[in-house]
Amino acid sequence: MRNDSGREVDRSLALLRWFFREPLGVRFEILEQTVLVTGESKGIGKTISVGFARCGAFVSIMDIDVEAGNRLVSQMISDEGRATFIYGDVSSEDDVMRVVTGTVGLSGSIGVLINNAGIGWTGTLLERSADDWRKVIEVNLTGPYLMAKYCSTYLATSKGSSIINIVSTRALMSVSSSEPYSTSKGSQLAHTHLPAIILGPKVRVSATCSG
């Protein structure tokens, strides 16, 4: 019987094959690539990070949860993966620059950027504070913008480079009181096709709407 770890790896590889449109049955390898994933200490990001490491990539983990980030890196290294954790808040331009510079300093390049970091919403339209609205927009929308901005130079010089935005079905279909989250995710879709025009064909930019 397969354990939870084995099933998690299977899910990781399936996600990666979908992202890069690899035919099933073809061996999937991302050897020598450096992958920078934001908000990946748990959930979707964790699964993606584990999958990339299993494929041979060097994975740089950016998150605000230091304990979870270091625990994930230890898990990946014990599984013979290559990974590092660098604390950073995607809504902070200084943090983004520091993480990108630190990643390049360790690995020499960035070949894949996964914009996965995101937060939900609180309150309702009539009760929510402007600060709560701005926080969601800063993390979910400004964060991916800053990451793409500061990674683009390195991505443009890496063979087969890619930006993958983890969006949400809320970009296309909202639920009550989800105004800041749905707005940020809808805008992130626009911020997928626009960088694709600017950075392509050297850098592929795509999105997946999970939900």
Catalytic (active site) residue 181: yes
Element (H or E) spanning 19, and its range?
Answer: helix 4-19
Query: What is the token pair recorded at 122?
Result: 């609180």
Distance CA 137, CA 164 (A): 19
* Helices and strands, counts by H and E, the chain: 7, 6
In 3D space, the residue among 120, 159, 161, 162 whose CA is nearest the CA of residue 139 turns out to be 120
Q: Which of 145, 150, 154, 181 is catalytic?
A: 181
CA 113 to chain centre: 6
Residue that has been written with the tokens 């740089």 in this structure: 60
Residues with a known catalytic role = 181
